[in-house]
Amino acid sequence: MTRPLIAVPARFSATTSALRYAAEVNARALIEAVWRAGGEPAGIHPADPADADVTERLARFDGVLLPGGGDLAPHRYGAADVHHSVYDVDDLQDAFDLEVARRTLELGMPLLAICRGLQAVNVALGGALEQDMGGPEREHRHVVHPVPIRRGTLLEQATGSEKAEASCYHHQRVDRLGAGLTVTARATDGTVEGLELTGTKGWFTAVQWHPEDTAHRDPAQQGLFDALVRAARGGR
């Protein structure tokens, strides 16, 4: 069976040892999780949406995975000040990811959004972020913790569970929800850990954690990638 083609927007990296210079990359664990699910992962270049129509670029793909990465620029969600902890902001990356989020949802293409990807979807739909969760004692970096999942959601269907062991690495979180979004999972401290969109035309779920970290040994986490690829096949 032909593998569905899954678009994965690349992340800019200042240095990579094997390539010597700046590069466009994605986490190997992420790509391998898509491959295990039966998909064909394809990195796509974050070009300026003003120069290359994102809708046309996405037309050749069967699904989209919007991965983690650095912080979104606070001005993207109307913040006048920038917290000192904000890092790795890239204006081109922001513009591209936000446009990918909007167009993928408009087209009704299957979409899985992870960590920064969840935040990008939230901002693309008019939501806002908390720039810092309160310092090292409150942030979710190098943390694995249980997250209850709301019953009857696509997230529950994909993971096959009412609770996930979430591997997290983030210091920001959703503040104001974007239009139409509903919360499908929360951490015990109230952090939004899952989002879905009411009335969307296609399969979409987003998680604040990194399922790729443990997908190789946790069927619930691999289930998210399986569900994306299954939706990209048209439910086959």
- pLDDT per residue over 54-100, tens digit each? 999 999 999 999 999 999 999 999 999 999 999 999 999 999 999 99
pLDDT given for residue 235 in this prediction: 56
pLDDT at 162 over 50: yes
How far the first Cα of the chain sits from its last, in Å, is 11
Nearest one of 69, 171, 174 to 114, comparing CA atoms: 69
Is residue 115 among the annotated active site residues?
yes
Give residue 4's identity as a one-letter amino acid code. P
Catalytic-labelled residue, pool 115, 139, 171, 193: 115
Give whole-number Cα distances, 143 to 91, 96, 148, 170, 209, in Å: 28, 29, 16, 9, 10
Provide the CA 150 distance to its chain's centre, in angstroms.
19
CA distance 6 to 103: 15
Candidates 156, 193, 196, 212; catalytic one: 212
Q: Residue 46, SS3?
A: coil
- Continuous H helices in the chain: 28-36, 54-58, 91-107, 116-124, 154-159, 219-232
Exposure class string for 189-218: b at 16+ Cβ within 10 A, else e: eebbbbbbbeebebbbbbbbbbbbbbbeeb
Note if 168 is an active site residue: no
Query: Which position among 140, 170, 171, 210 bears the catalytic label?
Result: 210
> How do residues 204-236 score in pLDDT, each as one tens digit?
999 999 999 999 999 999 999 999 999 999 954
- Mean pLDDT confidence for 39-66: 97
154 token code pair:
């696509």
Whether residue 210 lies in the annotated active site: yes
